[in-house]
Amino acid sequence: MSPRFPRVSGKEMIQFLLTQGFKVVRIKGSHYILRNPEGRIATVPVHKNEILGIGITRKILQQADIPPEKFVKFFSGENVNKRKG
Please state the domain extents for the chain: 10-80
Half-sphere exposure of 6 (CA within 13 A, CB side): 20
Q: What is the pLDDT of residues 56-65, one digit of tens each?
A: 999 999 999 9
Q: What's this model's pTM, rounded to 2 decimal places?
A: 0.85
Please state, for a pLDDT cut of 90, what percent of the chain lies above it: 79
The residues near 82 (Cβ < 8 Å, ≥ 6 apart) are: 15
CATH number for the domain formed by residue range(s) 10-80: 3.30.920.30
